């Protein structure tokens, strides 16, 4: 297994059309196969699937928060490690569209092993997303303290 191997991730959403608008139209993830109850997206080269769970209509996905670097990091969460230019472009787009951040874009662990740019926000169903970038991903992605 190497970093070029795509992962597969499936999450539950409260509304398939809402997921299409958020992941497809807003985040720009190309759509793949779908049915009335699920839709595949290409999330930066990875297979990401949204499965309908109507029970979420009035009860968004709940997350717990763990303390990390002075912030409450939502758990569970998922996302992608981007290159720095793509991370900066995404952060700018999210800000311009008024996305409410759980954790505003910032540099975490500044000057330490694993220094990274990170941001957290939620999809319309309450799934927590983290997008991050490392100054030197090959050296820092799995570096221990």
Instruction: Return the CATH architecture of domain 1-55.
Output: Roll (3.10)
Q: Which residues are 46's β-sheet partners?
A: 43
Distances (CA, A) of 60 to 45, 56, 126: 27, 5, 5
Chain segment 95-115, per-residue pLDDT in tens: 999 999 999 999 988 888 778
DSSP assignment string, 32-93 = EEE-SSEEEEEETTEEEEEEE-GGGSSSPPP-EEEEETTEEEEES-EEEEE-HHHHHHHHHH
- For the chain, the straight-line distance linking the first and the last C-alpha, in angstroms and rounded, comes to 24
* DSSP H helix total and E strand total for the chain: 3, 10
Asked if domains 1-55 and 63-145 share a fold, the reply is yes
Domains of the chain by residue range: 1-55, 63-145
Q: What fold is seen in the domain 63-145?
A: 2,3-Dihydroxybiphenyl 1,2-Dioxygenase; domain 1 (3.10.180)
Q: Which among 47, 6, 79 is positioned nearest to 39, based on CA atoms?
A: 47
| Residue, of 138 and 13, whose pLDDT is higher | 13
pLDDT in tens, 47-102: 999 999 999 988 777 779 999 888 999 999 999 999 999 999 999 999 999 999 99
| Contact criterion met (CB below 8 Å) for 49 and 86 | no
Residue 133 CA to residue 145 CA, distance in Å, equals: 17
128-134 and 38-43 strand pairing: unpaired
Q: How far apart, in whole angstroms, are the C-alpha atoms of residue 24 and residue 29?
A: 5
Q: Quick check: pTM over 0.75?
A: yes
Residue 85 has, within 13 A of its CA and on its CB side, a CA count of 0
């Amino acid at each position: 297994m190497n970093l070029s191997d795509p992962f597969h991730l499936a999450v539950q959403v409260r509304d398939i059309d809402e997921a299409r608008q958020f992941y497809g139209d807003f985040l720009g993830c190309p759509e793949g196969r779908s049915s009335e109850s699920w839709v595949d997206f290409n999330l930066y080269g990875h297979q990401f699937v949204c499965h309908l769970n109507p029970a979420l209509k009035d009860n968004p996905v709940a997350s717990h928060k763990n303390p990390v670097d002075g912030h409450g990091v939502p758990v569970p969460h998922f996302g992608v490690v981007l290159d720095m230019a793509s991370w900066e472009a995404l952060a700018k787009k999210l800000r311009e569209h008024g996305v409410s951040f759980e954790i505003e874009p910032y540099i975490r662990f500044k000057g330490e092993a694993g220094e990274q740019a990170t941001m957290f926000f939620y999809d319309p169903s309450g799934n927590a997303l983290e997008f991050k970038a490392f100054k030197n991903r090959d050296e820092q992605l799995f570096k221990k303290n």
